[in-house]
């Protein structure tokens, strides 16, 4: 039985869309659906960022960490931990576990964030600048879902999907007038 021409066109059209989508994702640097960021070829997964965010938020509800901020923190954690290790101020996983005893079985991404946070507080301003310089020189791609990265300013700007519109400003209530 021969395929009808319209059915064949639909199948081909679907294949072309799939290939085009894969091409766009590959060009953007996030070719795997679970990729939150890529830093010098090292992938940070959405699952890692979500788990770190969930664990830290459970241990410190006032931290305000979100998955997006966890992605940004994980991007920077690698540079901070590298500089801290080079300066003899790096922390071990066991030291990080001690700092977050309230988290049962912390994920590796959670440990990385804790180590970076503790190390950053011990670093000199020169060492902190070195971490920033490493980040500026790195090849960093952020999944647009988690925002954008400006390497010159080392700033992470959250994503604002185009379907989210800012709420209109409310008109001030009319002033009450005394009744006559």
pLDDT at 155: 75
pLDDT at 171: 55
pTM to 2 decimal places: 0.69
pLDDT at 140: 92
pLDDT at 114: 94
Query: Tell me: the pLDDT tens digits for 146-175?
Result: 888 877 777 777 665 554 455 555 655 555
pLDDT at 73: 92
Among candidates 160, 151, 153, 140, which has minimal Cα distance to 30?
140
pLDDT at 20: 36
pLDDT at 18: 36
pLDDT at 175: 58
Computed from CA positions of residues 45, 50, 56, 62, in that sequence, does the dihedral angle turn out positive or negative?
Answer: positive
Calpha distance 136→151 (Å, rounded)? 5
Higher pLDDT, 98 or 168: 98
Average pLDDT, the chain: 78
Average pLDDT over residues 52-72: 91
pLDDT at 38: 94
pLDDT at 43: 96
Angle, in degrees to the nearest 10, between helices 108-122 and 67-86: 60
- Judged by DSSP in three states, 155 sits in strand
Query: Tell me: the pLDDT tens digits for 7-59?
Result: 434 444 433 333 333 334 444 444 457 899 999 999 999 999 999 999 999 98
């Amino acid at each position: 039985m021969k395929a009808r021409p319209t059915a064949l066109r639909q199948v081909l059209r679907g294949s072309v869309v799939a290939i085009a989508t894969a091409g766009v994702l590959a060009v953007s640097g996030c070719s795997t659906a679970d990729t939150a960021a890529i830093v010098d070829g090292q992938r940070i997964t959405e699952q890692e960022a979500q788990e770190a965010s969930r664990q830290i938020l459970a241990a410190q509800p006032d931290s305000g960490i979100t998955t997006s901020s966890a992605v940004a923190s994980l991007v920077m954690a690698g540079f901070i931990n590298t500089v801290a290790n080079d300066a003899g101020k790096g922390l071990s996983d066991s030291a990080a576990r001690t700092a977050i005893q309230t988290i049962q079985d912390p994920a590796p991404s959670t440990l990385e964030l804790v180590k970076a946070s503790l190390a950053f507080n011990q670093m000199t301003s020169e060492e902190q600048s070195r971490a920033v310089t490493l980040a500026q020189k790195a090849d960093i791609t952020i999944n647009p879902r988690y925002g954008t990265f400006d390497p010159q300013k080392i700033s992470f700007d959250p994503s604002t999907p185009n379907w989210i519109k800012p709420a209109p400003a409310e008109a001030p209530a009319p002033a009450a007038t005394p009744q006559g």
